[in-house]
Amino acid sequence: MTTYTAPLQDMMFVLNELADLKGVAALPGHEDATADVVQAVLEEAARLAEGVLAPLNQIGDQQGSRLEGGEVVTPEGWKQAYRTFIGAGWNGLAFEEKYGGQNLPWLLATAVQEMWHAANMSFGLCPMLTQGAVEALLLHGSPALQDVYLPKMISGEWTGTMNLTEPQAGSDLSAVRMKAVPEGDHYRLYGQKIFITYGDHDLTENIVHMVLARLPDAPEGVKGISLFLVPKLLPDGDGNAAQRNDVRCVSLEHKLGIHASPTCVLAFGDNEGAVGSLLGEENRGLEYMFTMMNLARHAVGVEGLAIAERALQQARSYARERIQGRPLGAPSADRFPIAYHPDVRRMLMTMRAKVEAMRALAYLWASAHDKAHRHAKEDERLRCQQMVELLTPVVKGWCTETGNEVTSLGIQVHGGMGYIEETGAAQHFRDARITTIYEGTTGIQANDLVGRKILRDQGQAARSFIDSLRDIDLDALDGAGRALESGIAHLEQATDWIVNAASRDPRLPAAASGYYLQMWGVVVGGWLMARAALVAQDKLKDGSGDAAFYRAKIETAHFFATHVLPQTGALLRTITEGSEASLALEPELI
């Protein structure tokens, strides 16, 4: 069974030095989020992640969730772990005290989420989806619905889901066919949804589904979609789960990974129709659903980071213990752990550097999210919201693609033992594979970055952000500073090309979008690593803190600058010279 240790020292470094925890704690309503409080919260979360959730990870993978008599049964230990989880109040960490939350910042919630997903990604998916459903209800639900559902959802007593996909629709939500028929003060829903994470389970008595559907007179396409709240059990007059609604789990998907997370096919309205309540206004459902989806996309990016951290820990531990061969340059004929072999060290350093860059990026997004919602100055709120919108597809797309790469490297470090299920390395790779797919594939994220974030304003917001990346002392970083300077210039050139190419052929930016998203991740990651190195240099000069930790920060940043940032040159050439080649052959000839 693989183990997990929360990287608390690095988490606190990123929170304090890169994500401006002090500034977030100064926001109205977040004054309690001092460094001492955050440290204490993270230590408590680490105890739960390491001692309760992580030991269930491999058990959940082996047993999986199963459908018995029309009800979903989760693996051994799952119900007890969930009771422990909600009993400590973890589900309501970032939500309003009015409904039972703790009103702590999303920045702290992001670090805690990293622990849940690293310890047990299948488990972490349940509260992740509930949090998204809570956010949608907070922003778009009526006061009456909020009073009934929010206290139980924020506590975790009830869980929430997102219901978008249908068999014929996939990612094309304009093809959604589920019907919602008005009936008095509620609606009756009829249809089927697929790929519903935790659509049914035995952890709670009630599940609150957020469902996209069409009214009878709705216009075609995405403009005719509305959002409905449909509970598994209808509440009675006292707000308690009472009568079974007309929604049921038809089947569970058999998946490559995340076996313990029940991925359901749900049928609504097989009999009298599933009773639901409209959220917000008619025909604005897709707009409202994106409230959930943007938080979920960031959370999935955190999953990419988390599973990569777990794979790094396991690969590093294995490499330090596995004795094999004598490394080049070794002073004796003794056999050494494989961690001493140069190529293994390269792989471990690649994993480490990318994990640290992902963590900094995900936490930066969360800090901007908090400031966009609570900062006293309107111009700062606007600046931070632009950053959130720009970086959302980058966090989701780059962190998950990188998570796949890091978990694959984890198997490679293990050699043949990594391909054996008993070691657990393969599970991390299998679990990570879904992250580039759900909540919008990497291609969808890349198209969002190019179409909605770059071309919408002809790259103005992007150029402003790119200019801000130069506001550090690049000269103090020597070669690493020059590498970052080149990467920033390449990103600027690629952005100009995207804008200009759209006027020649709108297909060209789309063909380049995947590489362009990757470039954003590499450059912003490199910038954050450079900032970390500058902080570490100052700490070493002052003689404060853990010298070995700060030296490792500097060397890891240098590795990122010399091994990862140079990719931007090749990416720029591929974007500007290779996009037409992607379109040269007709689909029938590929």
The residue type of 179 is K
CA gyration radius for the chain?
24
Judge residue 271's burial from the number of C-beta atoms within 10 Å of its C-beta, 0-12 exposed, 13-18 middle, 19 or more buried: exposed
- Inter-residue contact 267 to 192 (CB < 8 Å): yes
Separation CA 247–CA 84 (nearest Å):
28
Separation CA 95–CA 555 (nearest Å):
38
Separation CA 513–CA 501 (nearest Å):
12
Separation CA 436–CA 442 (nearest Å):
6
Judge residue 324's burial from the number of C-beta atoms within 10 Å of its C-beta, 0-12 exposed, 13-18 middle, 19 or more buried: middle
DSSP-derived secondary structure letter, 470 = T
Sequence length of the chain is: 590
DSSP-derived secondary structure letter, 53 = I
Exposure string over 149-186, b if 16+ CB within 10 A, otherwise e? bbbbbbbbebbbbbbbbbeebeeebeebebbbeeeeeb
Structure tokens, 470: 């130069």
Say which residue the tokens 């979008």 belong to.
Answer: 513
Residue 232: enclosing H or E segment and its boundaries? none
Residue 434: enclosing H or E segment and its boundaries? none
Separation CA 366–CA 30 (nearest Å):
14
Separation CA 206–CA 350 (nearest Å):
44
**Residue 265, beta-bridge partner list:** 251
Provide the 10 A C-beta neighbour count for residue 81: 19
410-417: which pairs have CB atoms within 8 A and are 24 or more residues apart?
Answer: 410/311, 410/312, 410/314, 410/315, 410/351, 412/347, 413/315, 413/318, 413/319, 413/338, 413/344, 413/347, 413/348, 413/351, 414/315, 414/318, 417/318, 417/322
Parallel/antiparallel/unpaired status of strands 206-213 and 226-231? antiparallel
In the three-class reduction of DSSP (H, G, I as helix; E, B as strand; rest coil), residue 216 is classed as coil
Separation CA 397–CA 391 (nearest Å):
10
Our CA angle for 234, 237, 241, nearest 5°, is: 35
**Residue 227, beta-bridge partner list:** 212
Q: Which residues contact 549 (CB under 8 A, 6 or more apart)?
A: 9, 13, 536
Structure tokens, 243: 């009568």
Residues tagged active-site = 439
DSSP-derived secondary structure letter, 276 = E
Residue 414: closest CA among 322, 306, 310 = 322
